[in-house]
C-alpha cells in the first residue's frame, strides 16, 4: 500500500516509531489551524486564477476547507495517527470530505512556504492582541498617575533615598517604557506582515501563481522578494523573542520595585487580595506572588529567546528541519507574555498606596541637594555648595538630628550666605516643584507627561 505521507512516495521502508514521534509537531502547531486554513483558501483562489483548478473544484475545495475550520472551532476535529503537523491533518480531513479534488491543493506549494505563511499569519494575530494589552497598561498607569499626583515618595538611586519625587512621576517612568515597547512592536509587525506564500520549497512557484494576489488576499503588506529568503527567514522570530524579553524585563523591574514597596519595612503599597497569596504555615503572611511570578517569567522568556538563537545561528541556506524549533518558544512566549501584561495591568489598577506611609518615608537628608541649590541661587559655585551641604549632613549625623533641626547659626558656620529664608528648603512640596524643566517631577511637568500619554493612547482608539 502506498504511503499516505505527503512526502512518502520516495520511501519504501517504515519509519521508526520513535522517529515518528520525534518528527511530528501536531501536538503544538495545531494552534495554527485557522491560519493554515485561511492560507489554503487563499491558495485555492490563486491556483484557480492560474488555471490549475476549475471554478467548480475551487468552490468545492473552499467549501471543504470552511467545513474543516468549523470542526476545529467546534472541537469536533479528530487528529489521527499519521497527522504529522497541522498541514497534514487539514489536508487529510479535506480529502475525506471532498475526495480527490483535495489532492490539487498542494500544487506548486511546499510545506516550507506553507508553514512560513501560517506562522506569520498566526503571529500577526497575536501581535494585535499584545498591542492592545500594552496600550491598556499604559492607560491604566497614566490614569492612576493623574489621580494620585499629590503623593510624594522618596526617589531612590542605588536603593538609597535620593530625592523626593511624585508617586505619579515614578509610575509614568514605566508608562513611557511600555509606550516604547508598543512602538517597537509596531516596527516588528511590519516585518512580520510580509508574504512568503508562493515561494515553494525554495526556488519559487512553477505554475505562475500570482503572489501579489495572495498577499493582498491574506492582508500582507508585501511579498518577500527572494524565494529562499521567504522560506528560511526567521529574523522576525528572533526580533519578537528579544522584544518579548525586553518587555518582561520592564515588567520584572516594576515588579521588583512594588515587591520592595510592599514590605513592612517600606509599607508604601498593599496589593489587592486577588493578586496575593498566604503562607501555608504563617497565618500573618500576605505574599506578593503575582509580582514574584511576573519577575520569574522574565527568565523563562529570555530562555526561549536564547534557545532559539542557538538553533538559528548555524543553519545553512534555505529551509532546514531545525526551524521546527521556532514554534514552541514563540507559542510559550506569546502565552506567558499575554498573561503577564494583563496581570500587571490588574495589579496596578487594584493596589493601594498609603499617603501616610509615603510621608513617613521622607527624610530631610533627601533635601541636601536643595540646600546646595539654595547657595547656588546666591551665586556660589555648585562644587563649593555641594561641599558645604555635605558638611551640613555630617554635622546633623554627629548631632543625631535631622538637617532641618540645624539652626541658622549652625549653617552660618558652614557658609555666611545662609539666611533665615533657608527654612523654605525644608519643604518637600517646594523641592518637587523646583523641578520645572521638561521631564521633571513638578506638578506641571507630571501633568504634561500625563497629557502626552493620554493623547497618545486616545489616538489609538
Report d(CA 461, CA 91) in Å as an integer. Answer: 39
User: Which position among 279, 306, 335, 451 bears the catalytic label?
Assistant: 279
74, 76, 100, 158: the catalytic one is 158
The β-bridge partners of 195 are 223
- Is residue 279 part of the annotated active site? The answer reads yes
How far are the Cα atoms of 87, 89, 164 from residue 25, in angstroms, in the given order?
10, 11, 55
Q: Which of 66, 187, 196 is nearest to 120 (CA)?
A: 196
Query: Active-site residue 158, yes or no?
Result: yes
- What does R_g of the chain's alpha carbons equal in angstroms? 31
The residues that are catalytic are 158, 279
Amino acid at each position: 500500500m502506498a504511503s499516505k505521507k505527503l512526502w512518502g512516495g520516495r520511501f519504501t521502508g517504515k519509519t521508526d516509531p520513535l522517529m515518528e514521534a520525534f518528527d511530528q509537531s501536531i501536538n503544538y502547531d495545531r494552534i495554527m489551524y485557522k491560519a493554515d486554513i485561511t492560507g489554503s483558501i487563499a491558495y485555492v483562489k490563486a491556483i484557480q486564477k492560474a488555471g490549475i483548478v476549475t471554478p467548480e473544484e475551487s468552490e468545492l475545495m473552499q467549501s471543504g476547507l470552511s467545513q474543516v475550520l468549523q470542526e476545529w472551532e467546534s472541537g469536533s476535529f479528530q487528529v489521527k495517527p499519521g497527522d504529522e503537523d497541522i498541514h497534514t491533518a487539514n489536508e487529510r480531513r479535506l480529502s475525506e470530505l471532498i475526495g480527490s479534488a483535495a489532492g490539487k491543493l498542494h500544487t506548486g506549494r511546499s510545506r516550507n512556504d506553507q508553514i512560513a505563511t501560517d506562522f506569520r499569519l498566526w503571529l500577526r494575530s497575536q501581535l494585535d492582541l499584545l498591542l492592545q494589552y500594552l496600550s491598556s497598561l499604559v492607560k491604566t498607569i497614566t490614569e492612576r498617575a493623574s489621580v494620585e499626583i499629590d503623593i510624594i515618595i522618596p526617589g531612590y538611586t542605588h536603593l538609597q533615598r535620593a530625592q523626593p519625587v511624585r508617586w505619579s512621576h515614578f509610575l509614568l517612568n514605566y508608562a513611557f517604557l511600555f509606550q516604547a515597547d508598543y512602538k517597537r512592536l509596531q516596527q516588528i509587525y511590519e516585518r512580520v506582515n510580509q508574504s512568503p506564500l508562493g515561494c515553494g520549497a525554495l526556488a519559487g512557484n512553477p505554475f505562475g501563481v500570482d503572489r501579489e494576489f495572495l498577499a493582498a488576499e491574506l492582508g500582507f503588506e508585501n511579498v518577500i522578494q527572494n524565494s529562499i529568503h521567504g522560506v528560511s527567514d526567521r529574523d522576525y522570530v528572533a526580533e519578537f523573542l528579544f522584544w518579548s524579553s525586553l518587555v518582561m524585563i520592564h515588567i520584572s523591574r516594576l515588579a521588583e520595585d512594588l515587591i520592595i514597596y510592599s514590605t513592612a519595612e517600606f509599607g508604601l503599597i498593599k496589593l489587592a487580595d486577588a493578586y496575593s497569596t498566604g503562607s501555608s504555615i504563617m497565618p500573618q503572611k500576605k505574599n506578593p506572588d503575582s509580582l514574584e511570578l511576573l519577575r520569574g517569567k522574565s527568565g523563562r522568556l529570555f530562555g526561549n529567546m536564547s534557545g532559539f538563537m542557538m538553533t538559528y545561528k548555524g543553519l545553512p541556506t534555505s529551509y532546514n528541519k531545525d526551524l521546527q524549533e521556532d514554534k514552541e518558544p514563540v507559542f510559550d512566549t506569546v502565552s506567558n507574555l499575554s498573561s503577564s501584561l494583563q496581570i500587571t495591568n490588574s495589579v496596578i489598577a487594584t493596589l493601594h498606596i498609603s499617603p501616610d506611609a509615603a510621608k513617613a518615608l521622607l527624610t530631610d537628608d533627601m533635601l541636601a541637594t536643595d540646600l546646595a541649590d539654595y547657595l547656588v541661587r546666591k551665586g556660589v559655585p555648585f562644587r563649593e555648595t555641594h561641599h558645604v551641604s555635605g558638611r551640613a549632613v555630617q554635622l546633623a549625623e554627629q548631632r543625631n538630628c535631622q538637617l532641618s533641626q540645624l539652626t541658622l547659626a549652625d549653617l552660618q558656620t558652614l557658609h555666611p550666605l545662609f539666611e533665615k529664608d533657608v527654612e523654605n528648603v525644608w519643604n518637600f512640596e517646594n523641592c518637587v516643584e523646583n523641578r520645572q524643566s521638561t521631564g521633571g517631577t513638578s506638578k506641571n511637568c507630571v501633568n504634561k507627561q500625563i497629557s502626552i500619554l493620554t493623547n497618545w493612547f486616545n489616538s489609538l482608539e
